[in-house]
Amino acid sequence: MNTPITVQYKIQASPEKIWKALTDKDEMKSWYFDIQDFEPEVGKQFNFYEPGGENKFHHQCEIIEIISFQKLKHTWAYPEFSDQKTIVTWELLPEDDGTMVKLTHEGIENFSDLGDSFSRESFTEGWNAIIGQNLKEYSEKK
């Protein structure tokens, strides 16, 4: 099953405000992950662990494409578990009174042999919480 995961939510905030939340590492740690080495530049790698301090899952990503205020595309990998990579694309689509945030996660089947923590269901649930709750609440409160 090679269907990408697609999650989208309308957020009552401008694309500029959401872009800053997506690309400013100080803002990111308020709603997403604490990514100390994030630099919004094509070719830059960034690394982070899940929240909580257990540091079980080292995430390693590399930025592939950036269109300011519109698109951020990067790889998503777990180098300690697999040499496979997936692709995550964030798209910001302006709407009358807000922004449609669309996330597409492609290649998830590359992690199918890694267990339940890497399942399509687990990623779908995670992205829905990250965008539909965390990013939405963070962007709409300011």
- Tens digits of per-residue pLDDT, 47-66? 999 888 788 899 999 999 99
Q: 86-110 burial string, b = 16+ CB within 10 Å, else e?
A: bbbbbbbeeeeebbebbbbbbbbeb
Judge contact between 87 and 64, C-beta under 8 A. yes
Compute how many other C-beta atoms are within 10 angstroms of the C-beta atom of residue 31. Answer: 17
CA distance 42 to 102: 20
Beta strands at 58-67 and 98-106: parallel, antiparallel or unpaired: unpaired
Please state, rounded to an integer, the average pLDDT across all residues of the chain. 95
pLDDT over 90, % of the chain? 89
HSE toward the beta carbon, residue 85, CA cutoff 13 A: 11
pTM attached to this predicted model? 0.95
Average pLDDT over residues 11-38: 97
Residue in 25, 23, 130 with CA at minimum distance from that of residue 68: 23
The answer, yes or no, to whether residue 17 has pLDDT greater than 60, is: yes
* Residue 55: predicted pLDDT: 87
Q: Where are the beta strands (DSSP E) in the chain?
A: 5-11, 45-49, 58-67, 71-77, 85-95, 98-106
CA distance 92 to 74: 15
